[in-house]
Amino acid sequence: MTEDLTGLGRRVSKDARDHEYLIPKRSTAAATWTSRYWAAAGGVLDQGATSQCVAYSGVKYLQAAPVMNKQLGAADCPKLYKDCQRIDEWPGENYDGTSVRALFKVLKSLGYVSEYRWAFDAETIVNHVLLTGPVVMGTVWTLDMFMPRKRNYYITPTGPDQGGHAWLIIGANRKKENPADAGGGYGAVRMINSWGAGWGDKGRAWISFRDLDKLIKADGEACVAKEVLKK
């Protein structure tokens, strides 16, 4: 798999008001959990070379436990993407990508979520995954992140910045030992991408807590929502 087959598409959007709607910090309760992984219906999605990663990450978020909405799938992502562009922070639609904020605004308008909240530090993200559910991430994506290491399927945010990408954290393990080239130490999150099952470990990879913190502090964002199970 090469970079030209793996589209990006997350655009940075800063709003100070996001800090008024933060994911609660629950370190004490989360300390009782060592690891947790959330199932996701529908298999690994594949955005191809499009700039629709935000839409794909949103659909996979809806498909993932603990609230599994299965009404939307890969076929719905192009429309969801355009819906996001129509209400996002940039005029018109003649550009690539959209924001994570626009995604959750659209999901709320469609009745899939009733509210959404933000996190800007790795500890809060990890604790949410251990206690509550998956997290949609919007971060920079560097050259070395395109190809996870085959021996351990880690990705590290090194190399030149290639743009922005949205992806989903579906698990966390405090005791997972990280290899030296992922910073060493312990603790990693399990992410699922939108580049098909041929990428990484059947569409998934590991990111150390340390590297997750780097990504979130480099104009990154994490967003979760209170989902509504639609019949």
Identify the pLDDT of residue 4.
Answer: 47
Is the pLDDT assigned to residue 70 strictly greater than 80?
yes
Span 93-103, pLDDT tens digits? 899 999 999 99
Side chain identity at residue 11, one-letter code? R
Span 174-187, pLDDT tens digits? 999 999 988 899 99
Burial grade of 126 (CB within 10 A; 0-12, 13-18, 19 or more): buried
Q: Which of 190, 194, 222, 200 is nearest to 80 (CA)?
A: 194
Query: CATH number of 3-227: 3.30.70.270, 3.40.50.1820, 3.90.70.10, 3.40.50.720?
Result: 3.90.70.10
Q: Which residues of 52-84 are buried (b: 16+ CB within 10 A; e: fewer)?
A: bbbbbbbbbbbbbeebebeebebeebeebbebb
Helices (H), the chain: 27-30, 53-63, 77-87, 100-109, 122-131, 209-217
